[in-house]
Amino acid sequence: MGDNKKICDCDKRNHSLLAHEYGQAAIIRVGAEERDYLLHKGLLSHHSRYFKNRFSSRWPQDDTAIINVPDDDAEAFDIFFSWLYTHSPYITSPRYNFHANTPDDVEKLYRVLAKAYILADMLQIPGLKNAITDRYITT
């Protein structure tokens, strides 16, 4: 049934995607507020089976390269965006203070990470799920 190439599980520090393989950019429009993210198609396809299938020839293509994901949460997508380019086990986002110094900070951190885990599951991104699990364990 098509391409059986493995999606990166990203447990390795040095994964195999080279800079020239990032490819063209696509606009991912997220949530009800329609927040736009400009992301590389090759990088998305490398980490996510959903995006790999989405960018394949089996899915209708257009020249605008805008993918709408209206049901996803922009907070969660912030976490994915940050992880996608930094690959850090310490998930960060410029919108949030993830040092979790107070009980309120810890509660906010867990809430946002839970949303990001659900997003990673829906978009089939095992490396992000692993990073989130690691973050839960170390907090």
Structural domains of the chain in order of their starting residue, each with its CATH number: 23-138 (3.30.710.10)
The alpha carbon of residue 10 and the mean position of all alpha carbons in its chain are separated, in whole angstroms, by 12
pLDDT, tens digit (0-9, with 9 covering 90-100), for 42-69: 999 999 999 998 888 666 665 557 888 8
pLDDT, tens digit (0-9, with 9 covering 90-100), for 6-45: 555 554 444 556 666 777 889 999 988 899 999 999 999 9
Reduced to 3 states (helix: H, G, I; strand: E, B; else coil), residue 2 is coil
For residue 119 the two structure tokens come to 């997003």
Angle between the N-to-C axes of helices 103-122 and 74-86, in degrees from 0 to 180, rounded to the nearest 10: 80
Quick one: CA dihedral 118, 116, 11, 59, positive or negative? positive
* Element housing 40 (H / E): strand 35-40
